[in-house]
Amino acid sequence: MFEVLETSRIVANKSVHVRIDERAVTELCKTWVEEGISVPPWDSVHHFKGVPEDTIAYIFVLDALNFCFWPPPGRPRWEIEYESRRFSGYYALSISLKRAIGSGIPIIKADFLANITLKDLKQVLRGKGELPLLKERVEILRELGQVLLDEYHGEAYRLLEAAEHSAPAFVHLASEKFPSFRDVAKYGCDEVFFYKRAQILASDLYGVFNGAEQGHFIDVDELTAFADYKLPQVLRHLGVLRYKPGLTQKVDHGILLEGGSIEEIEIRANTIWAVELIRQEMEALGRTFRAFEIDGILWNMGQDEAFRAKPYHRTMSIYY
Protein backbone atom coordinates (compact mmCIF):
# COMPACT_ATOMS: atom_id res chain seq x y z
CA MET A 1 0.00 0.00 0.00
CA PHE A 2 2.56 2.50 -1.21
CA GLU A 3 0.13 5.43 -1.36
CA VAL A 4 -0.91 4.94 2.29
CA LEU A 5 2.68 4.80 3.52
CA GLU A 6 3.95 7.62 1.30
CA THR A 7 1.15 10.09 2.04
CA SER A 8 1.40 9.33 5.76
CA ARG A 9 5.16 10.01 5.63
CA ILE A 10 4.52 13.34 3.93
CA VAL A 11 1.98 14.36 6.57
CA ALA A 12 4.29 13.22 9.38
CA ASN A 13 7.07 15.40 8.00
CA LYS A 14 4.78 18.43 7.78
CA SER A 15 2.83 17.93 11.00
CA VAL A 16 2.21 20.88 13.27
CA HIS A 17 0.19 19.26 16.09
CA VAL A 18 1.73 15.76 16.32
CA ARG A 19 5.28 14.50 16.21
CA ILE A 20 7.02 11.14 16.47
CA ASP A 21 9.70 10.77 19.15
CA GLU A 22 12.27 8.59 17.40
CA ARG A 23 14.21 8.04 20.62
CA ALA A 24 11.06 6.51 22.11
CA VAL A 25 10.79 4.30 19.01
CA THR A 26 14.33 3.04 19.61
CA GLU A 27 13.71 2.39 23.30
CA LEU A 28 10.45 0.60 22.62
CA CYS A 29 12.08 -1.70 20.07
CA LYS A 30 14.97 -2.53 22.40
CA THR A 31 12.45 -3.43 25.09
CA TRP A 32 10.48 -5.61 22.70
CA VAL A 33 13.62 -7.45 21.61
CA GLU A 34 14.62 -8.03 25.24
CA GLU A 35 11.12 -9.28 26.08
CA GLY A 36 10.92 -11.48 23.00
CA ILE A 37 7.69 -9.86 21.83
CA SER A 38 5.58 -12.01 19.51
CA VAL A 39 2.60 -11.56 17.22
CA PRO A 40 -0.73 -12.42 18.90
CA PRO A 41 -2.53 -15.32 17.20
CA TRP A 42 -5.90 -14.99 15.53
CA ASP A 43 -8.62 -14.87 18.18
CA SER A 44 -10.82 -17.86 17.37
CA VAL A 45 -12.81 -17.54 20.62
CA HIS A 46 -14.52 -14.24 19.83
CA HIS A 47 -14.98 -14.77 16.09
CA PHE A 48 -17.20 -17.01 13.99
CA LYS A 49 -15.67 -19.60 11.73
CA GLY A 50 -17.65 -21.99 9.55
CA VAL A 51 -17.30 -23.20 5.98
CA PRO A 52 -14.96 -20.88 4.04
CA GLU A 53 -17.73 -19.09 2.14
CA ASP A 54 -19.59 -18.25 5.37
CA THR A 55 -16.41 -17.26 7.17
CA ILE A 56 -15.48 -14.81 4.41
CA ALA A 57 -18.99 -13.33 4.45
CA TYR A 58 -18.78 -12.94 8.24
CA ILE A 59 -15.45 -11.08 8.03
CA PHE A 60 -16.93 -8.74 5.39
CA VAL A 61 -19.88 -7.89 7.64
CA LEU A 62 -17.63 -7.58 10.69
CA ASP A 63 -15.32 -5.06 9.06
CA ALA A 64 -18.16 -3.21 7.37
CA LEU A 65 -19.30 -2.34 10.91
CA ASN A 66 -15.87 -2.08 12.55
CA PHE A 67 -15.87 1.58 13.57
CA CYS A 68 -16.77 4.06 16.30
CA PHE A 69 -17.60 2.08 19.45
CA TRP A 70 -17.36 4.88 22.01
CA PRO A 71 -20.56 6.40 23.45
CA PRO A 72 -21.58 10.04 23.04
CA PRO A 73 -21.14 12.13 26.22
CA GLY A 74 -23.62 11.18 28.92
CA ARG A 75 -24.71 7.96 27.19
CA PRO A 76 -23.94 4.45 28.47
CA ARG A 77 -21.31 2.35 26.73
CA TRP A 78 -22.72 -0.32 24.45
CA GLU A 79 -22.20 -3.80 25.95
CA ILE A 80 -23.54 -7.28 25.38
CA GLU A 81 -23.70 -10.35 27.57
CA TYR A 82 -22.61 -13.67 26.12
CA GLU A 83 -22.03 -16.91 27.99
CA SER A 84 -22.22 -15.08 31.35
CA ARG A 85 -19.56 -12.52 30.36
CA ARG A 86 -19.90 -8.88 29.34
CA PHE A 87 -18.20 -7.51 26.23
CA SER A 88 -17.90 -4.04 24.74
CA GLY A 89 -16.35 -2.46 21.67
CA TYR A 90 -14.96 -4.60 18.88
CA TYR A 91 -15.35 -7.84 20.82
CA ALA A 92 -19.02 -7.09 21.41
CA LEU A 93 -19.46 -6.60 17.67
CA SER A 94 -17.67 -9.79 16.66
CA ILE A 95 -19.61 -11.83 19.22
CA SER A 96 -22.94 -10.19 18.31
CA LEU A 97 -22.49 -11.34 14.73
CA LYS A 98 -21.40 -14.80 15.88
CA ARG A 99 -24.45 -14.95 18.17
CA ALA A 100 -26.75 -13.88 15.33
CA ILE A 101 -25.45 -16.59 13.01
CA GLY A 102 -25.91 -19.19 15.76
CA SER A 103 -29.51 -18.08 16.36
CA GLY A 104 -30.46 -18.31 12.68
CA ILE A 105 -30.40 -14.61 11.75
CA PRO A 106 -29.02 -14.57 8.16
CA ILE A 107 -26.67 -11.64 8.83
CA ILE A 108 -24.08 -12.99 6.38
CA LYS A 109 -26.51 -13.42 3.47
CA ALA A 110 -26.41 -10.73 0.81
CA ASP A 111 -30.16 -10.67 0.19
CA PHE A 112 -30.81 -10.13 3.91
CA LEU A 113 -28.17 -7.40 4.09
CA ALA A 114 -29.54 -5.59 1.03
CA ASN A 115 -32.90 -5.18 2.80
CA ILE A 116 -31.83 -5.00 6.44
CA THR A 117 -33.81 -2.61 8.65
CA LEU A 118 -32.83 -0.62 11.71
CA LYS A 119 -34.98 -3.00 13.75
CA ASP A 120 -33.09 -5.99 12.32
CA LEU A 121 -29.71 -4.50 13.21
CA LYS A 122 -30.83 -3.56 16.71
CA GLN A 123 -31.85 -7.18 17.23
CA VAL A 124 -28.41 -8.38 16.12
CA LEU A 125 -26.66 -5.85 18.38
CA ARG A 126 -29.04 -6.11 21.33
CA GLY A 127 -27.48 -5.39 24.70
CA LYS A 128 -27.02 -2.54 27.14
CA GLY A 129 -26.73 0.93 25.62
CA GLU A 130 -26.61 1.52 21.89
CA LEU A 131 -23.84 1.56 19.34
CA PRO A 132 -23.52 5.02 17.73
CA LEU A 133 -24.19 5.72 14.04
CA LEU A 134 -26.75 2.92 13.74
CA LYS A 135 -28.53 4.45 10.74
CA GLU A 136 -25.21 4.76 8.93
CA ARG A 137 -24.43 1.13 9.75
CA VAL A 138 -27.73 0.04 8.23
CA GLU A 139 -26.92 1.91 5.03
CA ILE A 140 -23.44 0.37 4.91
CA LEU A 141 -24.85 -3.14 5.25
CA ARG A 142 -27.43 -2.46 2.55
CA GLU A 143 -24.67 -1.21 0.29
CA LEU A 144 -22.61 -4.34 0.99
CA GLY A 145 -25.51 -6.66 0.27
CA GLN A 146 -26.61 -4.87 -2.89
CA VAL A 147 -23.16 -4.72 -4.46
CA LEU A 148 -22.61 -8.41 -3.73
CA LEU A 149 -25.97 -9.24 -5.32
CA ASP A 150 -25.44 -7.02 -8.35
CA GLU A 151 -21.84 -7.93 -9.14
CA TYR A 152 -20.81 -11.11 -7.29
CA HIS A 153 -23.89 -13.36 -7.31
CA GLY A 154 -24.41 -12.53 -3.65
CA GLU A 155 -21.13 -14.17 -2.58
CA ALA A 156 -18.40 -12.23 -0.80
CA TYR A 157 -15.81 -14.88 -1.63
CA ARG A 158 -16.16 -14.03 -5.34
CA LEU A 159 -14.96 -10.47 -4.67
CA LEU A 160 -12.01 -11.88 -2.74
CA GLU A 161 -11.21 -14.22 -5.65
CA ALA A 162 -11.25 -11.26 -8.05
CA ALA A 163 -8.19 -9.83 -6.26
CA GLU A 164 -6.16 -12.94 -7.20
CA HIS A 165 -4.42 -13.23 -3.80
CA SER A 166 -3.05 -9.68 -3.87
CA ALA A 167 -3.68 -7.72 -0.67
CA PRO A 168 -3.31 -4.24 -2.28
CA ALA A 169 -5.53 -5.28 -5.17
CA PHE A 170 -8.14 -6.50 -2.70
CA VAL A 171 -7.96 -3.26 -0.69
CA HIS A 172 -8.36 -1.19 -3.83
CA LEU A 173 -11.23 -3.34 -5.07
CA ALA A 174 -13.09 -3.12 -1.75
CA SER A 175 -12.55 0.64 -1.66
CA GLU A 176 -13.76 0.99 -5.24
CA LYS A 177 -16.88 -1.12 -4.84
CA PHE A 178 -17.95 0.12 -1.39
CA PRO A 179 -17.83 3.90 -0.75
CA SER A 180 -17.87 3.28 3.01
CA PHE A 181 -14.43 1.65 2.70
CA ARG A 182 -13.05 4.61 0.71
CA ASP A 183 -11.09 6.16 3.57
CA VAL A 184 -9.30 9.11 1.95
CA ALA A 185 -8.74 12.60 3.40
CA LYS A 186 -7.43 15.98 2.23
CA TYR A 187 -4.44 17.57 3.96
CA GLY A 188 -4.09 20.99 2.46
CA CYS A 189 -4.15 20.33 -1.27
CA ASP A 190 -2.91 16.74 -0.94
CA GLU A 191 -4.88 13.52 -0.71
CA VAL A 192 -4.01 11.23 2.19
CA PHE A 193 -4.92 7.56 1.91
CA PHE A 194 -5.76 5.53 5.01
CA TYR A 195 -8.06 2.67 3.87
CA LYS A 196 -8.29 1.52 7.50
CA ARG A 197 -11.27 -0.84 7.23
CA ALA A 198 -10.35 -2.12 3.77
CA GLN A 199 -6.84 -2.98 4.96
CA ILE A 200 -8.07 -4.60 8.16
CA LEU A 201 -10.50 -6.62 6.05
CA ALA A 202 -7.54 -8.09 4.17
CA SER A 203 -5.64 -8.63 7.43
CA ASP A 204 -8.61 -10.36 9.08
CA LEU A 205 -9.07 -12.70 6.12
CA TYR A 206 -5.37 -13.50 6.33
CA GLY A 207 -5.72 -14.12 10.06
CA VAL A 208 -8.85 -16.24 10.10
CA PHE A 209 -7.37 -18.59 7.47
CA ASN A 210 -3.87 -18.43 8.97
CA GLY A 211 -2.48 -17.04 5.73
CA ALA A 212 -3.49 -20.11 3.74
CA GLU A 213 -6.03 -20.94 1.03
CA GLN A 214 -8.63 -18.11 0.85
CA GLY A 215 -6.52 -16.06 3.26
CA HIS A 216 -3.31 -16.36 1.29
CA PHE A 217 -1.99 -13.06 -0.07
CA ILE A 218 1.27 -13.03 -1.98
CA ASP A 219 2.01 -9.46 -0.87
CA VAL A 220 0.43 -9.19 2.58
CA ASP A 221 3.59 -7.48 3.82
CA GLU A 222 2.49 -4.36 1.89
CA LEU A 223 -0.34 -3.68 4.33
CA THR A 224 0.32 -0.76 6.66
CA ALA A 225 -0.91 -0.13 10.18
CA PHE A 226 -4.62 0.58 10.54
CA ALA A 227 -5.14 4.17 11.69
CA ASP A 228 -7.83 4.04 14.37
CA TYR A 229 -8.39 5.33 17.94
CA LYS A 230 -6.58 2.63 19.88
CA LEU A 231 -3.13 2.70 18.25
CA PRO A 232 -2.46 6.42 18.74
CA GLN A 233 -3.67 6.06 22.33
CA VAL A 234 -1.12 3.29 22.95
CA LEU A 235 1.68 5.02 21.04
CA ARG A 236 1.06 8.20 23.02
CA HIS A 237 1.21 6.23 26.28
CA LEU A 238 4.55 4.78 25.12
CA GLY A 239 5.88 8.26 24.33
CA VAL A 240 6.18 7.52 20.63
CA LEU A 241 3.49 10.05 19.65
CA ARG A 242 3.60 13.50 21.23
CA TYR A 243 0.86 16.11 20.89
CA LYS A 244 1.15 19.88 21.04
CA PRO A 245 -0.57 21.43 24.11
CA GLY A 246 -3.68 22.54 22.23
CA LEU A 247 -4.32 19.07 20.85
CA THR A 248 -3.44 17.47 24.18
CA GLN A 249 -6.13 19.53 25.87
CA LYS A 250 -8.74 18.57 23.27
CA VAL A 251 -7.96 14.85 23.43
CA ASP A 252 -7.66 14.72 27.23
CA HIS A 253 -10.97 16.52 27.70
CA GLY A 254 -12.90 14.46 25.14
CA ILE A 255 -13.45 17.37 22.76
CA LEU A 256 -14.53 16.09 19.36
CA LEU A 257 -12.04 16.39 16.51
CA GLU A 258 -13.79 16.92 13.22
CA GLY A 259 -13.23 14.18 10.66
CA GLY A 260 -10.83 15.46 8.03
CA SER A 261 -9.46 18.22 10.27
CA ILE A 262 -5.71 18.86 10.27
CA GLU A 263 -5.33 17.54 13.82
CA GLU A 264 -7.25 14.34 13.12
CA ILE A 265 -5.35 13.62 9.91
CA GLU A 266 -2.02 14.24 11.64
CA ILE A 267 -2.87 11.78 14.43
CA ARG A 268 -3.78 9.05 11.95
CA ALA A 269 -0.91 9.66 9.53
CA ASN A 270 1.70 9.81 12.30
CA THR A 271 0.31 6.57 13.68
CA ILE A 272 0.92 4.80 10.37
CA TRP A 273 4.38 6.28 9.94
CA ALA A 274 5.35 5.54 13.56
CA VAL A 275 4.50 1.87 13.05
CA GLU A 276 6.64 1.87 9.91
CA LEU A 277 9.55 3.33 11.89
CA ILE A 278 9.05 0.64 14.53
CA ARG A 279 9.07 -1.99 11.79
CA GLN A 280 12.33 -0.63 10.38
CA GLU A 281 13.98 -0.42 13.80
CA MET A 282 12.92 -3.95 14.74
CA GLU A 283 14.37 -5.21 11.47
CA ALA A 284 17.64 -3.42 12.23
CA LEU A 285 17.67 -5.22 15.58
CA GLY A 286 17.23 -8.59 13.90
CA ARG A 287 13.47 -9.07 14.42
CA THR A 288 11.31 -9.01 11.31
CA PHE A 289 7.68 -8.02 11.67
CA ARG A 290 5.18 -6.78 9.14
CA ALA A 291 3.37 -3.51 9.81
CA PHE A 292 -0.01 -5.15 10.34
CA GLU A 293 1.58 -7.53 12.86
CA ILE A 294 2.99 -4.60 14.84
CA ASP A 295 -0.49 -3.12 14.66
CA GLY A 296 -1.84 -6.30 16.26
CA ILE A 297 0.76 -6.18 19.02
CA LEU A 298 -0.07 -2.56 19.85
CA TRP A 299 -3.84 -3.10 19.64
CA ASN A 300 -3.62 -6.02 22.06
CA MET A 301 -1.51 -3.92 24.42
CA GLY A 302 -4.29 -1.37 24.29
CA GLN A 303 -6.75 -3.83 25.82
CA ASP A 304 -4.77 -3.58 29.05
CA GLU A 305 -6.19 -0.97 31.42
CA ALA A 306 -2.70 0.46 31.98
CA PHE A 307 -2.62 1.72 28.40
CA ARG A 308 -5.86 3.65 28.84
CA ALA A 309 -4.40 6.26 31.18
CA LYS A 310 -4.26 8.72 28.30
CA PRO A 311 -7.60 9.01 26.43
CA TYR A 312 -8.06 8.28 22.74
CA HIS A 313 -9.07 11.08 20.39
CA ARG A 314 -12.72 11.27 19.51
CA THR A 315 -14.00 11.66 15.97
CA MET A 316 -17.46 10.63 14.88
CA SER A 317 -16.59 8.64 11.76
CA ILE A 318 -17.60 5.57 9.79
CA TYR A 319 -13.99 4.99 8.76
CA TYR A 320 -12.52 3.82 12.10
Question: Residue 216: is its pLDDT beyond 90?
Answer: yes
Please tell me the predicted confidence (pLDDT) of residue 241. Answer: 98
Closest CA to 251 of 304, 308, 300, 294: 308
Closest CA to 131 of 101, 103, 90: 90
What is the percent of the chain where pLDDT is above 90? 96
The pLDDT tens digits for 230-288 are 999 999 999 999 999 999 999 999 999 999 999 999 999 999 999 999 999 999 999 99
Annotation says 43 is catalytic: no
pLDDT mean over 22-41: 97
The pLDDT tens digits for 103-116 are 999 999 999 999 99
Please tell me the predicted confidence (pLDDT) of residue 225. Answer: 98
> Reduced to 3 states, what is the DSSP secondary structure of residue 212?
coil
The rounded mean pLDDT for the chain is: 97
The pLDDT tens digits for 39-65 are 999 999 999 999 999 999 999 999 999
Computed on alpha carbons and rounded to an integer, the radius of gyration of the chain in Å comes to 19
DSSP of 157-173, one letter per residue?
Answer: HHHHHHTTT-HHHHHHH
Of 228, 252, 295, 304, which one is the catalytic site residue?
A: 228
pLDDT mean over 161-165: 98
Please tell me the predicted confidence (pLDDT) of residue 192. Answer: 98
Closest CA to 225 of 15, 20, 14, 17: 20
